[in-house]
Structure 1
Amino acid sequence: MVQHDALIPTLSIADLPARDFSLALGRSFREYGFAIIADHGISPALLAQAWDLTARFFALPEAIKRRYLVESGAGQRGYTPFG
């Protein structure tokens, strides 16, 4: 199943055959740059831990975050500062 939440598609791993899921995922990234994936089986506790670690990283001083900047990554890897 593909639902749309604020224009970003929500893709269910459980409801779509693998080929349809991969096509829908690619389309979502091409059109929106994002996708919401449902029925992935990742526990809410692990997701909460990931969000907590993300918030803690972005709360660090800029000088520390810049240690994770990958110059050749074109924003695809590591930390990408604003500006």
Structure 2
Amino acid sequence: MRMNRYLKPLIGAIIGCAAAGGWLVVDLLTPEPIGDYLLYSLMALTNIAIGWQVGKFFGKRRDNGKNDVQISGERTEAKFELES
């Protein structure tokens, strides 16, 4: 149980280090004036995509919570109709 607690943060840290290393390699391999514009544009698009996915994920969690309440409310109404 304790290993599982630290596994996800460790995986996240490894992914973060790999991404930072990838951006550094791209910066070092591209020529100086064009490379910076290309790198910053790619970083901006990547951050937009990640933000979009995180927003969709949290939006789905909230929507699912509202749907569950609605379904449970419908079930209790049907239960009262059957009993009477």
Normalised to the residue count of structure 1, the TM-score between the two structures is 0.33
- Greater percentage in helix: 2
Normalised to the residue count of structure 2, the TM-score between the two structures is 0.32
Whose relative contact order is higher, 1 or 2, with alpha carbons under 8 Å and at least 6 apart?
1
- Greater percentage in strand: 1
- Which structure has the bigger radius of gyration? 2
